[in-house]
Amino acid sequence: MRPRVGFLTFGCRVNQYETQMMRGQLANDFDLVQGAADVYLVSACTVTSLAERKARQAMRRLRREHPEAKILLVGCLADAVTRGVSDVREADLLGGNAWKGKICEAVHRALAGERRALPAIDPIPLNQERIVEHPGRVRAFLKIQDGCDLSCAFCRTTQIRGPSRSKSIAAVVTEASSLVEQGYPEIVLTGINLAQYSPAGGDLPTLVRRIMTMGGLRRLRLGSINPGGITPQLLEAAVSDRRFCPHFHIPLQSGDDAILRRMSRGYTVSFYLSRIELVRRFLPEATFGADVIVGFPGETRAAFARTCSVVEEVGFVNLHIFRYSPRVGTPALDFPRVVADRERHYRARRLAQLARTLREGCMTAFLGSVGGVLVEEKKDGRWRGYTRGYIDTVLEGENGITAGDEITVRITGVSGNYLKGVKDG
């Protein structure tokens, strides 16, 4: 019997892509399972203390339930441990992000009883990273960029993922073509910092235009992209083809200029809002998402109020709210004027309440409209999927619907975090 490998993945879309890449490497030599396994491969995030805590809790549960199994921790959290900025004792063996490209060897070493940290190695070239499927998903994530050249005061990305590097346009197009041929109707381009995608002889707008020449592709979507990546050239490419999905997740982090400077974000509130305005000029129907950190050192109540004002002005349909998390190895760890934990929780709750109100208002504007929904799954007896503007939509009735269909839907209601609709025609 071949050794069995199970998977737990925490964190961003890049992590999810890399898990699929590792599955592809392991499939010939191991049985990939969801239940009891000989090795559990845990790909974990280190961006916040909460993310680390969830990974550690999951590994402790695995240890209790499967005491004979080996636990192999890979990815950003493993890199953080080897750099001495995090501490994880729940895993048998650790391998940083570079080991994702040589995961077969890492699993064999775990099975052989090797413990603690694998030696540092060079990552495989980005052009060699690829996936051929994304099981259980209608939307396939495609990693086109890794690393980051910025040094945000709160972020470990630079020290963990290294400098920005980009997959070539030719490699991306080949991988995207393969995924479309495998039946994935939507491709989501993702990276650690998409705004820094700059392969030799190309850029993100060029890549978008190339991908949208493919037959069979029904939707192209961008993952999170920093404000500097929102350019007229990108938006001209976006409006050139209806298959480009008009949803932009643009990290805000704060709506106060003084806090943005302390964060070393490299833009002002006015610049951020100018990017929103630019998108709306090209794509009036566009929807927006963002990340916001509350309770960053030095954030006064007035600064937090300015963040709330910006959030209200934009009207995000998706807002990811993070309480500031002190991280060893980041400049912000030593910043004065720390916001009390209780106050951070209060601000997060208050902003979440505002975000819910704004989201409901944004969704109400779609009542009576007709548009496409890409059907993803059947949940609680009803089909659900996403609009082109990335709004979760629940469908009433069967009407011959299957996962992967893109159907025309009339929006009939709003319920909580999703739209309700019926198949039109």
- Do the domain assignments include residue 277? no
Q: Say what the pLDDT of residue 157 is.
A: 80
Res. 169: pLDDT tops 80? yes
pLDDT tens digits, one per residue of 92-150: 999 999 999 999 999 999 999 999 899 999 999 999 999 988 888 899 999 999 999 99
Is the pLDDT assigned to residue 342 strictly greater than 80?
yes
Q: How far is CA 52 from CA 120, 158, 284, 286, 330, in A?
A: 21, 18, 39, 34, 16
Token duo for residue 36: 């009891």
Q: Are strands 287-294 and 318-323 parallel, antiparallel or unpaired?
A: parallel
Q: Is the model's pLDDT at 348 over the cut of 80? A: yes
Residues 142 and 72 in one domain: no
For residue 57, give the amino acid letter. Answer: Q
Q: Judge whether 143 and 259 are in contact, CB under 8 Å.
A: no
Q: Is residue 276 in a domain?
A: no
Q: Are 238 and 261 members of one domain? A: no
> Whole domain around residue 374: which residue ranges?
370-423
**What's residue 55's pLDDT?**
95
pLDDT of residue 379: 85
93-102, 195-204, 300-309, 371-380: range with lowest mean pLDDT: 371-380
- Number of domains present in the structure of the chain: 4
Shared domain check, 105 and 142: no
pLDDT of residue 401: 86
- DSSP 8-state assignment for residue 188: E
Q: How confident is the model at residue 39 (pLDDT cuts 50, 70, 90)?
A: very high
Please indicate, yes or no, if residue 27 is contained in any of the structural domains.
Answer: yes
Last residue of a domain, one of 71, 99, 117: 117
- Is 203 within the bounds of a domain? yes
Decide if 275 is inside a domain. no
Q: Give me the percent of the chain exceeding a pLDDT of 70.
A: 100
| Residue 419: per-residue pLDDT | 95
What CATH number is associated with residue 79?
3.40.50.12160
Is the distance from CB of 386 to CB of 361 less than 8 angstroms? no
Q: Which two tokens stand for residue 243?
A: 């298959």
pLDDT more than 90, % of the chain: 90
Same domain for 105 and 42:
yes
83 and 13 belong to one structural domain: yes
In a domain? residue 195: yes
| Residue 253 pLDDT exceeds 80 | yes
Residue 1: predicted pLDDT: 80
Query: In terms of Cα–Cα distance, which of 33, 75, 76, 41 is closest to 59?
Result: 41
Query: What is the mean pLDDT of the segment spanning 303-320?
Result: 98
**Residue where a domain stops, chosen among 92, 117, 142:** 117
Same domain as 236, residue 156:
yes
pLDDT in tens, 399-424: 688 889 999 999 999 988 899 999 88
Same domain, 318 and 379: no
Say whether both 313 and 417 belong to one domain.
no
178 and 129 co-located in one domain: yes
Check whether residue 356 and residue 383 sit in a common domain: no
| Mean pLDDT to the nearest integer, 302-322 | 97
Contacts of 5 (CB under 8 A, 6+ apart): 26, 30, 31, 32, 33, 37, 38, 39, 40, 41, 107
Judged against a pLDDT cut of 90, whether residue 198 lies above it is answered with yes
In this predicted structure, what is the pLDDT of residue 254?
98
Indicate the average pLDDT of the chain: 95
- Nearest one of 221, 372, 389 to 315, comparing CA atoms: 389
Cα(294)–Cα(351) distance, integer angstroms:
9
CATH number of the structural domain spanning residue 376: 2.40.50
Q: What is the pLDDT of residue 103?
A: 97
421 in Cβ contact with 407 (< 8 Å): no
Q: Based on the fold, state whether residues 210 and 230 are members of the same structural domain.
A: yes
The string of pLDDT tens digits covering residues 53-65 is 999 999 999 999 9
- 140 located within any domain: yes
Q: What is the pLDDT of residue 58?
A: 96
Residue 322 lies in a domain: yes
**Are the C-beta atoms of residues 109 and 120 closer than 8 Å to each other?**
no
pLDDT higher than 80, residue 158 = no
List, for residues 216-239, the tens digit of each pLDDT value. 999 999 999 999 999 999 999 999
Check whether residue 315 and residue 222 sit in a common domain.
Answer: no
Q: For residue range 372-397, what is the model confidence (pLDDT) as tens digits?
A: 999 999 888 899 999 999 999 999 87
> What is the model's pTM?
0.95
Domain stop point among 76, 92, 117: 117
